[in-house]
Structures are given as C-alpha cells and as structure tokens.
Amino acid sequence: MIPPKLSLYIHFPWCVKKCPYCDFNSHAMKHGQQNNLPEGDYIQALIQDLQQDLPQVWGRPVNTIFMGGGTPSLFSAKAMQQLMQQIRALLPLRPDAEVTMEANPGSQEFDAFDGYLAAGINRLSFGIQSLDDKQLLSLGRIHNSSQAKEAVKAAVAAGYENFNLDMMFGLPLQTLKAAEDDLLRLLELEPTHVSYYQLTIEPNTLFAHKTPAHLPDMELQYEMFLQGQEILSAHGFEQYEVSAYAKDKQRSEHNLNYWQFGDYLGIGAGAHSKITMGHDSSIQRQIKQKHPQSYLKHAASDKRIVDTRILDEKTLPFEFLLNSLRLKQAFTWDKYRRVTGLDPQALKDCFLREVPAEWYQLDDAKFELTPAGFLMSDEILQKFI
C-alpha cells in the first residue's frame, strides 16, 4: 500500500499566560522567564527527537510543517532558522512546502516577521479570537484589538501573503449583531484564511471550573454559526471544514492532511504522531513526553515516548471518521478501504442503522454529509465511540 501524504508537526509548549478556555499542552512562563526561555536547549531537543524518529518515515517527502503551541512565536527568528536548516538536512522537505507558525499578537510575543519569512516560515496563523476589547478580557487574552491589528499589518508589511486569523463566537453576553460586527472587523484585515469557531468549555480548563456567565444559548450560537457562513461566503471565502474558510487556493494544506487521514510526525513536548508503517501498512500512534522539563530531559532517548499503540479494526473506523466528517467534501469507499485496509460494508451498515437518513447520503462509490448532517458531525461521531 502506498502511504498517505506526510506532514511534520512541531510543538512549542510555552506561552506568556494560559488562556482559561485552552486545553492544549501549554505552560505559562514564570515571571521574568521570557528572557530566559531555554531556546537553544529546546531546538536541540527537537532535532534529537526528530533524528530518532527518522526510521519511521525514511525517504518519505514532507509536504507541510506546522509549528503549534503554546506560542511558537516566542522563539526568535534566529532559533527558527536554525531549526529549519536542521529539518531540511534530515528530511526531504518539498521545495514549495507550506510551513505555518502560530503567532499571538501581544507586543512581546514575536520577533520581526521578516526574519521568520527568511527562515522559511511562509504562512502565519494568528490567535486573534476577538476584536472586541471587553471580550478579549473575558477570554483572558493578553493583547488588545489594536495590538492584534498592528501585528497583522506588520506581517503583511514583512511580505506575508498567506495568513489565517482565528475568531470565536458564542462569547459571554454576545449578541447576534455583536458577533456580526466582530467578524466584519476581522475581515477588514484581509486574511486569506479564517478559522471561525464556537467557544467551547473543555474539561480540565479554568473555564470548566468556573464557567463564564451569560453564554449564548444553543439556538443563538447556531444562528451565529449560520450568520458567519453567510458573511464569509459573501466575502469570497469557501467553507471546506466545520470551522475553516479559505480564499481561492489558500486552504491550510497541513490541517487538510489531518482531516484527510494523512500521516504526520510529531516532535516536541506532548506532540502526537500518526504514521503508516511501511512493513505491514499498520497505523501507529505515538505521544511524546508532555511536560517541557521531562521532554528536555528525555528527548535523546526512548523515554521521550510515553505511549505507542497500533490502530485495530475496532478503532480505525472511528479514527477515520473523526477527521473525515469535519470536511464538506465527500470521501470514497475506495479511499476508506485503501487507508484503513477494512471492508467498508460494516461502516455502511452502521450508518444505515444508527444515523438519521437526512444527515447523510451514500451510494456504492462515496459518502457525504448533507448540510444538516454537517452541522451534526459531533452527534454522529458519538454513535461510533
């Protein structure tokens, strides 16, 4: 079996402040630590980690790189240049590979953008979340709307032509009109890609322990979602995933590879990998040491890996759907058979038995969600857990 496309994910675990809604592996720096970030040690650890993972992906071209966090832009452009040079020396990186870095718009959270661009980072993703200063405070963000706008303008001035802006809806006391105004202000910054998603209360977050008061009810959140679809479509954005909207040919190739059940190698504290193994085409998942100090200590040894498992015929269908059902595009049964090695009939039977017929369409060749089903993808997944 020919393995799917391969991406590289690099996790940077530090941030200035942990946001109360965030359930990612991020660790707030102690007071004064920003000037003492273990930049050199962490870059070295990432390379040691990658070197040991190479036998899993030997000779396979890397199509995309995504630097997530935490806040990767806390690292200097010089550090990123060193990292990219080492990656190119170790992996056959596609010459036109999409290389994305997440950036926060706080004034002390990034180096000069032209330095990142010179290092080979050709796409940015800004965690804006809102351009309403009161909402930014309610979300625990450390930037204001002016800083967000200035950061985006600085990136454009440095030469960035492809960038994503994150925005949330369903915020405390937010009205339908306020959500509309917030999104329209975001579009004035002329992004090529927008991630527009609902504030969700995740377990083990500060918001889970103390949920904000006066969150919009489900009906109003649904109206905000539909309103966002209409506004973004009217401004030339195509929705290709539940929360992802792109201008022509500006989709996030990296995230699209996740959603299409591609392979990805993860390096860094808490990074996850999903790799199709060459000898038997089995699919392996791995997780690295989560805490930054533990990762730094064990990056050069097998102890950097805390969990390894092979997906079996019981877990593969759910793992496939977990990604594929986020996309508006249909998937073919041939692809399902090719990437999982399973006969699709059992999955077809499960849909026919468990899922309301108005939520999907299937025939002998392909499966796709209806517009109603696209909005119910989480409920559909619950039936396969």
338-376 pLDDT tens trace: 888 899 999 999 999 999 999 999 999 999 998 888 888
Q: How many CB atoms lie within 10 A of CB 72?
A: 29
**158 φ/ψ angles, rounded to the nearest 5 degrees:** -75, -15
Same domain, 50 and 170: yes
Instruction: State the pLDDT at residue 204.
Output: 83
Task: Write the DSSP string, 82-150.
Answer: HHHHHHHHHS-EEEEEEEEEEE--STTS---HHHHHHHT--EEEEEEE-S-HHHHHHTT-S--HHHHHH
Are 165 and 79 in the same domain? yes
- Residue 64 CB contacts under 8 Å (≥ 6 apart), including other chains: 7, 8, 97, 98, 99, 100, 253, 254, 257
Give the span between the Cα atoms of 326 and 323, in whole angstroms: 6
Q: How confident is the model at residue 62 (pLDDT cuts 50, 70, 90)?
A: very high
- Residue 298 domain-assigned (yes or no): no
Mean pLDDT of 145-149: 96
Return the percentage of the chain with pLDDT > 90, whole number: 78
| Domain ranges, residue 246 | 6-257
Q: Which residue type is seen at 257?
A: N
Residue 22 and residue 158 share a domain? yes
What pLDDT, on the 0 to 100 scale, is given for residue 33? 53
Q: Tell me: pLDDT of 228 over 80.
A: yes
The string of pLDDT tens digits covering residues 152-210 is 999 999 999 999 999 999 999 999 999 999 999 999 999 999 999 999 888 888 888 88
Residue 264 is assigned to a structural domain of this protein:
no
- Please check whether residues 41 and 150 belong to one and the same domain: yes
Structural domain ending residue among the three candidates 223, 257, 291: 257
Give the number of other CB atoms < 10 A from CB of residue 296. Answer: 18
Bridge partners of 179, per DSSP, are none
Based on the fold, state whether residues 82 and 188 are members of the same structural domain: yes
Does residue 180 belong to any structural domain of this protein? yes
Per-residue pLDDT for 299 more than 60? Answer: yes
CA angle 263, 266, 270 (to 5 degrees): 135
pLDDT of amino acid 3: 83
Structural domain contains residue 152:
yes
Percent of the chain with pLDDT over 70: 98
- The verdict on 219 and 340 lying in the same domain is no
Q: Which of 199, 224, 257 is a domain's end point? A: 257
Overall average pLDDT of the 263-285 stretch: 93
Residue 1 has a pLDDT of 66
- pLDDT at residue 287 is higher than 80: yes
Tokens, residue 177: 């009109």
Please tell me whether residues 50 and 129 are part of one structural domain.
yes
Mean pLDDT is highest, among 89-93, 247-251, 346-350, for 89-93
Q: Examine the domain organization and report whether 230 and 343 are in the same domain.
A: no
- In terms of domains, do 249 and 135 share one? yes
Residues 106 and 244 reside in one and the same domain: yes
pLDDT value of position 21: 87
Number of domains composing the chain: 2
Query: Does 179 reside within a domain?
Result: yes
Confidence check: pLDDT of 101 > 80: yes
Give the domain-ending residue among 257, 275, 295: 257
* The residue count for the chain: 385
When pLDDT is averaged across residues 307-336 and rounded to a whole number, the result is 92
Average pLDDT, the chain: 93
235: in domain? yes
